Amino acid sequence: MHPIAKMALQRLALGVFTLFVVSIIIAGAVEFLPGDLAQEILGQSATPEAVAAFRAEVGLDKPPVERYFSWLGGVAQGDFGVSLATKRPISDLIAARLGNTLFLAGFAALIAVPLAVTLGMLAALYRNSWFDRLVNVSTLSSISFPEFFVAYVLILFLSVGYGFDARWVLAVLGLLLLVEGGGAVKSALKDSGRFSFIGAIVGVLGLALVVNAVFSWWTYQVEPVQAFPSISNISPNTPFGERVYRSFLPALTLTLVVTAHMMRMTRASIINLMASPYIEMARLKGMSPGRIIFKHALPNALAPIINVIAINLAYLITGVVVVEVVFVYPGLGQLLVDSVSKRDITVVQGCCLIFAATYILLNLTADILAIATNPRLLHPK
Amino acid sequence: MSDDKILEIRNLKIDGKSGDDWLPILKGIDLDLNRGEVLGVIGESGAGKSTIGLAAMGYTRGGCRISGGTVNFDGTDLVQASETYRRKLRGKRIAYVAQSAAASFNPAHRLIDQYSEAPIQHGVMASAEAQSDATDLYRRLQLPNPDEIGFRYPHQVSGGQLQRAMTAMAMSCRPDLIIFDEPTTALDVTTQIEVLSAIRDAVEQFGTAAMYITHDLAVVAQMADRIQVFKLGETVEEAETRKMLSQPEEDYTKSLWAVRSFKATAKPKPPVDEVPVVELKNVDAAYGTTQVLFDVNFKIHKGRTVAVVGESGSGKSTAARVITGLLPPSTGEILFNGETLPADYRKRNKDQLRQAQMIYQMADTALNPKQRIGDIIGRPVGFYLGLSGKQQRERVRELLDLIELEPDIYMHRFPGELSGGQKQRIGIARALAADPQFIICDEVTSALDQLVAEGILRLLDKLQIDLGLAYMFITHDLATVRAIADEVVVMQYGKVVEQGPKVEMFRPPHHPYTDLLLSSVPEMDPDWLTDLLAARERGDAVDPDDADAAAK
């Protein structure tokens, strides 16, 4: 058998065992929650008899170990049981929500992963330039704020209130070009005594943008627009385009939260490699800077990048609870939060198991990809 | 610039950044190279040899800048030329062969793709043409399986073969000039010969001009038509190879030529009934299922040096690991002063651990960069001898005196503030701190310049006489063996092929492998390589196949 296939099977088996351990931990944790489903549903004023009758009806009167094993037996056959609160099959309940969560995660990942890897490579290519610093400062700031804060800031600017004034972007961009162009002219003069025309053109362009924006603010006011909805209520019947539009803000929030990590890792792994002799060799073979980054550095930097992407993808699926709550997005995280407050144990267990499985599968994929992209492991001596 | 001149460097100055200051690396050098000529560039570390080689391509490493002068390549000054112009030149008309082929090949791509990259990107050849050309050059450079070897990844090919593949890669666009930057320094002596002859043939066949950078005089004598000696960024002198070897003019050059004269004090033979400090008895050892040592036996007596010689993979370092207990042998035993040592270092008591210490090849990586010298040496003093506070500091001062470094100056420094030779002295002091009877020196001078290395050898010799230490000296360099050994153990493929007192070992008849090792050490005679290859061709000298056959 191919070593990779063997490794994948071993890891899968280990993953199943991990899931089993996780399920025990979840079941134990749920038992420690104060109160139970019967009390939550029947309320404070219910008589002890009514509570007891309700418990007997849903099977809560049996000892925890027995309940756990009968649930586990069901799961092993693919049957997650029924929700204690609604009596609907959990598989149906989760399936719809999981679809929404995967949609949002996929949406965010489609923006975030290419963005982060590209930014990381560009930042490595133009290391210590203003571009590099801008990318670092902005991604690190966005990761430093709590998710709900980022979400509300986006709502403030892109949805309600002041609306969105594109002139801000132009003004900031102009300022950066001005500083960068000026810096290029200055350093070229200092290092080699030559005048940098490209630097001068960039600087003048930046100045023009800034002047234009200031002048425009002076003269007229733009009506704020509500660009995107602040509530991402989607249903199974929502058409695809509408879905994309409605889930844009949560996807953007998630993008801002995960980009920094992946971008920093891409940048660091590539910079780390840029000092290696084979990169110098590529330079001495007369290769272009772009080719050096893409053909010579990136293939060797893939393993750490893939691992960080996997961790962030897993986070996009399992860590979105807060974002889903802010945007009232009907995903798996919302379901989990609701079920915990309702003490709907079986649903909580189902959700957690899916989260755990996601982590395991994504990490397994990352490991396999890391091996598949490393010739030393793929083609042993 | 005359027609047959390919490279003309005038008054070239290059600075390197150190903190906020620019310090000069090259202080205005001149260099000329004609078409088809091979120029040897010689100097110790810090001479700026690599910087010159790279500057010939119009390239400076990060943190360096060209602050003056011209690099005129075939009529164009590369200092003033645009980066695009220089980029189009590199790989196509000027190529580079680096010291470590293993590190300079990209591990993610097959050899043949890396070969074809420059011809394709520079528009010299199409892909299919480049591939068949690669196979052709691999054959000319006598690589095994030339049709197939290009499709391997770098990690699947041995060091000597990689170095030849890199020479082939440099030739891919048939450049006018190739810079060889210490291409054989990382190789074993026997492999070095193959690479040297391959490079020489290739350069001759294509009439390529070459700059051959090395610190090894004997090597450059075989390769170069002319030699230019550098010291601290300045030219010392320059002459035709034969003239330079026979009548060097400058004192510095003479001192380089004379380095190999050191001889350690000869020690009397130990009494026949003396119990050796260390004895290996029938030791077999394995990494996993691969057996690497086969029935190894040797003894090391008090106050004597046993040099263990062999190429990489011969098992010398494994033998050291077995003695220190890092790798318990599968069979056999290690005796210390006649008593059996526990095989595993975890089962040895503190006193047994104290008695055997190690000095490592790379002093750079063997010293913790975040600890001060006083702490680095103080730790074993505290651990083994139980000294602390003032007593410990006193002991550290004594040790620094022993290794001839001023305690007041060096106690509080970090390893990064020391030179390579000083770091290696700290490594020696750390080993002495445990007050051992026996020290394993693992290639302790191979990373150092010859003059510095000689200082270390002198120090080790002095310490041996003063303290009665027994040394196991692992090396692949026979000149070092000649200088310091009392007894020699020659290893090949995990077996001891020959052992005995040094005087006997350097006198024929030898085991064929010892013969091969001895004959492979380059000599300061410009005809040595030609004569040796001819002798091997005729069958007058042992060649690698004979030695292999004798080992099996």
pLDDT of residue A117: 92
Using a CB–CB cutoff of 8 Å, tell me whether B121 touches chain A.
yes
Region B72-99: mean pLDDT is: 92
> Which chain A residues are within 8 Å of B107, Cβ to Cβ?
278, 300, 375-376
Tens digit of each residue's pLDDT (9 = 90 or more) over A185-220: 887 777 666 777 888 888 898 888 888 888 877 776
pLDDT of residue B549: 67
Using the beta-carbon criterion (under 8 Å), do B92 and A286 form an inter-chain contact?
yes
Using the beta-carbon criterion (under 8 Å), do B106 and A282 form an inter-chain contact?
yes
Using a CB–CB cutoff of 8 Å, tell me whether B107 touches chain A.
yes
Are the C-beta atoms of B230 and B42 separated by less than 8 Å?
yes
pLDDT of residue B428: 94
pLDDT > 60? residue A159:
yes
* Percent of chain A at pLDDT exceeding 70: 95
Using a CB–CB cutoff of 8 Å, tell me whether A285 touches chain B.
yes
Tens digit of each residue's pLDDT (9 = 90 or more) over A61-71: 788 888 888 88
pLDDT of residue B260: 61
3-state secondary structure A242-309: HHHHHCHHHHHHHHHHHHHHHHHHHHHHHHHHHCCHHHHHHHHCCCCHHHHHHHHHHHHHHHHHHHHH
- The 3-state DSSP class for residue B43 equals coil
Are the C-beta atoms of B330 and B355 separated by less than 8 Å?
no
Question: Residue B360: which of B476, B446, B452, B478 has the closest Cα?
Answer: B446
In angstroms, the first-to-last Cα distance of chain B is 58
Tens digit of each residue's pLDDT (9 = 90 or more) over B123-182: 999 999 999 999 999 998 888 889 999 999 998 888 888 998 999 999 999 999 999 998
Distance from CA of B172 to the nearest CA of A (A): 10
Using the beta-carbon criterion (under 8 Å), do A285 and B57 form an inter-chain contact?
no
Tens digit of each residue's pLDDT (9 = 90 or more) over A296-351: 999 999 888 999 999 999 988 887 888 888 888 888 888 888 888 888 888 888 88
pLDDT of residue B39: 94
pLDDT of residue B550: 64
Tens digit of each residue's pLDDT (9 = 90 or more) over B524-548: 888 888 888 888 888 777 777 766 7
Using the beta-carbon criterion (under 8 Å), do A288 and B105 form an inter-chain contact?
no
pLDDT > 90? residue A279:
yes
Size of interface A-B (CB pairs under 8 A): 78
> Which chain B residues are within 8 Å of A276, Cβ to Cβ?
103
What residues does each domain of chain B span?
Answer: 34-61+88-258, 278-507
pLDDT of residue B1: 54
Give the residue from chain A lying closest to B65, CA to CA: A191
Give the residue from chain B lying closest to A287, CA to CA: B87
Mean pLDDT of chain B: 89
pLDDT of residue A173: 83
Tens digit of each residue's pLDDT (9 = 90 or more) over B334-367: 999 989 999 899 999 999 999 999 999 888 889 9
Using a CB–CB cutoff of 8 Å, tell me whether A284 touches chain B.
yes
- The 3-state DSSP class for residue B536 equals helix
Give the residue from chain A lying closest to B54, CA to CA: A284
When CB atoms are compared, the residue of A284, A295, A379 closest to B90 is A284
Tens digit of each residue's pLDDT (9 = 90 or more) over A86-105: 778 888 888 888 888 999 99
Phi first, then psi: what are they for B318, rounded to 5°?
A: -65, -40
Which ipTM did the prediction report?
Answer: 0.82
Question: Tell me, what DSSP letter sits at residue B292?
Answer: E
pLDDT of residue B437: 94
| B34-61+88-258 matches B278-507 in fold | yes
Which CATH class for the B278-507 domain? Answer: alpha beta
pLDDT of residue B450: 78
> Which chain A residues are within 8 Å of B108, Cβ to Cβ?
296, 299-300, 373-375
Mean pLDDT of chain A: 84
B-facing residues of A in 167-196 (CB < 8 A) are: 191
Domain spanning B34-61+88-258, CATH architecture: 3-Layer(aba) Sandwich (3.40)
User: Which CATH topology does A3-33+80-164+224-378 take?
Assistant: MetI-like fold (1.10.3720)
Tens digit of each residue's pLDDT (9 = 90 or more) over B371-424: 999 999 999 999 999 888 899 999 999 999 999 899 988 989 898 888 888 999
* Percent of chain B at pLDDT exceeding 90: 51
Determine if the peptide bond prior to B509 is cis (ω within 30°): yes
Using the beta-carbon criterion (under 8 Å), do A379 and B156 form an inter-chain contact?
yes
Rounded Cα distance between A120 and A98, Å, is: 31
Question: Tell me, what DSSP letter sits at residue B96?
Answer: E
Question: Residue B227: which of B440, B449, B476, B40 has the closest Cα?
Answer: B40
H/E run at residue B212: strand B209-214
When CB atoms are compared, the residue of A283, A286, A300 closest to B88 is A286
Rounded Cα distance between A217 and A166, Å, is: 11
Bridge-partner residues for B309, per DSSP?
A: B475, B490
